[in-house]
Chain A
Amino acid sequence: MAHADTTDPSVPARPAARARTETGTRWRKQRRQRREQRQRRRQQRPVGRLPRAAVTHPWWFALPAVAVFGGFFLLPNLLNFFYPFTDWSAYHSDVSFTGLDNFRAIADDGSLLRSLRTTLLYAALAALFQNGFGLALALLLEADTRFNQFFRAVFFLPVLISALAVGYVFQALLNTEGAVNQALGTEVPWLGSTTWTLVIVGLIHGWKWMGLAMLIYLAGLKGVPGDMLEAARVDGAGPWRTFWAVRWPMLAPAVTFNVTTSLIGSMNTFDIVQATTGGGPAASTEVFNIYMFRIFGQGLYGQASAMSLVLFLVVVAIAVPLVVGLRRREQTL
């Protein structure tokens, strides 16, 4: 950007700059000619068009972000296409190529399919609960009254508590000896069922993030034009009909954002599951990240990164069609 000042388009050819270049070498002369050409072209452009972006918004503003992102997010993800095919582990210092051995290992002991199934189920449940609770709360607290504003903040509180802490709170609540069983006088093993515990952990995930979904649905509801609602009322639509015919279609962008972030976020879950069940009972809640955490602790880095690659591919396979599909839905609704 050395010549940024002389080609600054908002300052049309300062006389001083021109004088300096005119006394220069042939190279400078050529440069001046090019610049004047550019300026002529610019003057021919219609008024109000933006000047050359490269000068007014130089690349180097974006460079540090791109570098850090590339170095510490993209590069590890690229490496993740290499290390799963090696015998990288804590037990020897050299890393050599072993082909598909790691994938065979995680497929043969059943952990691959089990983690896949658990993660997908968990993500679907968590997204369902998070969005269901969030939308219900948004509809309940829609009007901008003091009362509603206070309770919006109350329902947002769980978002502010760390997921690990949330997990421990619910472990204390739902233990066989926990607060809920004591209050009800029962001994239900809420966190000890190989079928239902996954649903309960999904519920906890939905509980933790419902405040965020609520805020975004509230913004979506606020974006519905008042005259549209008025028109629906004049046409004799009740609240139910108004919701499904007018407001729900207008909520489409909020739905896209919420469904995508909740599905992706819950596939990446770790803390809540670790703090409530630790993957149990009988590995029935062992999602990808719990498996990685466990197997990494055993020093089997190659297998852990193989599972990490599977998670990556699953997320891509789900996220891309999901975003495309939901975006298309926004246009058709």
Chain B
Amino acid sequence: MTAPPARPPRAAGIRVPPLWRYGRPALVLLLAALAVGVPLWLVAVTSAKPQAEAVRPNLDLPRRWQPGGNYADAVSQGEMLRGFVNSLLVVVPSVALVLILGAGAAWVFARRKSRLVTAAYALTISGLLLPPAVITVVMELRQLGLAGTRPGMVAVYTGMYLSTSIFFMTGFVRTIPAELEEAARMDGARPLRVFLQIILPLLRPVIATATIMVMLYAWSDMFYAFFVLGGGDRTTLPLNLYRVASAELYLNNWHLVFAYVVVMSLPMIAVFLVAQRKIVSGITSGAVK
């Protein structure tokens, strides 16, 4: 072996036993195949099977391929398109609000030192730990006339996930040198301009992270959507999936359930693939302080 495969740079610090050097990649492959490969394979093959084959889900390849038919059924019976649009209509505004409001608050919280600001910061990141009061939020929304509406859902998601974005962004703003702002201010820039032209562009990596985290939570949420939106014509994708899968008892429609799972997961995977590097650096820089 002239070129040992994947020689870790860390080897300078720690002696690597030969068993580990070759056993490790093998172990990684085995784990990935068993832990991630098998479940994803099951989803992929089942979503392409006719109903009769999918009743008892297994890992065999479909004897008859009909992915198109399944996805078409999921669209017609599961009302997937409407769910997709409904999901977009609550997730996109929620993410936008969480980011914009969160960035503004994080800027103030990171730069000001008074006791009041510290208290407000502690209060707004308390949502990281505290569970949302999902039952009474329904009562509140009913009194505001927002129960079962998209603005109500957006408000609830925004309230729930602001803490996450404020926490990550405040940590990030603290690492931005104050001199950058100072320079802009010397040139006569007002706070709004400093915020929009200096802070927001620098926040880009952490915005990528916050976007994917909030999108992940809101896009896949079924629990809070159930309480706030309920049934009706505003149901989101996860709520639709829940309905389709709950009917499984009578219809055994695993093929539709998994077609749904694929369609629901693909947007998230696409977003991750596009912004992977930024997301990873953002998650890790915010968390480990």
Interface residues of A (CB under 8 A from B): 4-5, 8, 10-11, 50-51, 53-59, 61-62, 64-66, 68-69, 71-77, 79-80, 82-83, 88, 137, 140-148, 151, 153-165, 168-170, 172-173, 175, 177-179, 182-183, 207, 212, 215-216, 218-220, 222-223, 226, 229-230, 232-233, 238-239, 242, 253-254, 257, 260-261, 264, 267-268, 270-271, 274-275, 289, 292-293, 296, 301, 304-305, 308-309, 311-312, 315-316, 319-320, 323
| Residues in chain A near residue B133, CB distance under 8 A | 76-77, 79-80, 305, 308-309, 312
Contact check, B135 vs A239: say whether CB atoms are below 8 A apart.
no
| Residues in chain B near residue A10, CB distance under 8 A | 182, 185-186, 188
Interface locus among B68-76, B77-85, B190-198 = B190-198
| Residues in chain A near residue B211, CB distance under 8 A | none
Contact check, A157 vs B6: say whether CB atoms are below 8 A apart.
no
Contact check, A73 vs B127: say whether CB atoms are below 8 A apart.
yes
Closest chain-B Cβ to A207's Cβ sits at a distance in Å of 7
Q: Does B28 contact A (CB under 8 A)?
A: yes
The 5 listed contacts between A and B (C-beta, < 8 Å) are A56-B185, A76-B132, A219-B285, A232-B13, A270-B223
Give complex CA distance A178, B56 in Å.
6
14 new A-B pairs (CB below 8 Å) besides A145-B8, A172-B46? A53-B112, A66-B123, A69-B163, A160-B272, A165-B220, A168-B257, A169-B43, A178-B57, A233-B14, A239-B14, A242-B13, A257-B287, A264-B129, A309-B133
| Residues in chain A near residue B140, CB distance under 8 A | 72, 75-76, 79
Give complex CA distance A270, B238 in Å.
13
Known: A65-B105, A162-B219, A182-B56. A72 touches B185 (CB 8 A): no
| Residues in chain A near residue B287, CB distance under 8 A | 216, 219, 254, 257
| A315 to B, closest residue via Cβ | B131
Q: Does B88 contact A (CB under 8 A)?
A: no
| Residues in chain B near residue A305, CB distance under 8 A | 133, 135-136
Contact check, B188 vs A164: say whether CB atoms are below 8 A apart.
no
Interface size class of B (residues with CB under 8 A): 35 or more
Closest chain-B Cβ to A24's Cβ sits at a distance in Å of 23
Q: Secondary structure of the B side of the interface?
A: helix
Closest chain-B Cβ to A56's Cβ sits at a distance in Å of 6
Give complex CA distance A57, B127 in Å.
24
| B135 to A, closest residue via Cβ | A305
Mask for B255-289, Cβ within 8 A of A = 1, else 0? Answer: 00110110011001100100010001001110111
**Residue from B101, B138, B191, B241 within 8 A of A164 (CB atoms):** B241
Give complex CA distance A11, B188 in Å.
7
| Residues in chain B near residue A58, CB distance under 8 A | 108, 191
Closest chain-B Cβ to A34's Cβ sits at a distance in Å of 20
Closest chain-A Cβ to B63's Cβ sits at a distance in Å of 15
Interface residues of B (CB under 8 A from A): 5-17, 20, 24-25, 27-28, 31-32, 35-36, 38-40, 42-43, 46, 56-59, 97, 101-102, 104-105, 107-109, 111-114, 117, 120, 123-124, 126-140, 155-156, 158-160, 162-163, 166, 178, 181-182, 185-186, 188, 190-191, 194-195, 216, 219-223, 226-227, 238, 241-242, 245, 254, 257-258, 260-261, 264-265, 268-269, 272, 276, 280, 283-285, 287-289
Contact check, A173 vs B42: say whether CB atoms are below 8 A apart.
yes
Give complex CA distance A160, B267 in Å.
9
| Residues in chain A near residue B109, CB distance under 8 A | 62
| Residues in chain A near residue B265, CB distance under 8 A | 160-162, 165
| A73 to B, closest residue via Cβ | B159
Contact check, A253 vs B289: say whether CB atoms are below 8 A apart.
yes
| Residues in chain B near residue A312, CB distance under 8 A | 130-131, 133
Contact check, A56 vs B191: say whether CB atoms are below 8 A apart.
yes
In the A-B complex, the 4 residue pairs with the closest CB atoms: A162-B220, A143-B8, A219-B284, A72-B159
- Residue of A172, A175, A289 with highest tally of chain B CB at under 10 A: A172
| Residues in chain B near residue A55, CB distance under 8 A | 191
Known: A65-B104, A315-B131, A323-B129. A143 touches B9 (CB 8 A): yes
Contact check, A69 vs B127: say whether CB atoms are below 8 A apart.
yes
**Residue from B135, B155, B195, B221 within 8 A of A68 (CB atoms):** B155
Give complex CA distance A17, B101 in Å.
33
Contact check, A79 vs B220: say whether CB atoms are below 8 A apart.
no
**Residue from B36, B117, B131 within 8 A of A157 (CB atoms):** B36
Closest chain-B Cβ to A316's Cβ sits at a distance in Å of 7
Give complex CA distance A131, B90 in Å.
32
Contact check, B136 vs A79: say whether CB atoms are below 8 A apart.
yes
Contact check, A71 vs B129: say whether CB atoms are below 8 A apart.
no
| B97 to A, closest residue via Cβ | A68
**Residue from A71, A156, A183, A232 within 8 A of B58 (CB atoms):** A183
Contact check, A68 vs B101: say whether CB atoms are below 8 A apart.
yes
| Residues in chain B near residue A274, CB distance under 8 A | 222, 242
Contact check, B108 vs A57: say whether CB atoms are below 8 A apart.
yes
Contact check, A319 vs B101: say whether CB atoms are below 8 A apart.
no
- Residue of A69, A142, A147, A170 with highest tally of chain B CB at under 10 A: A69
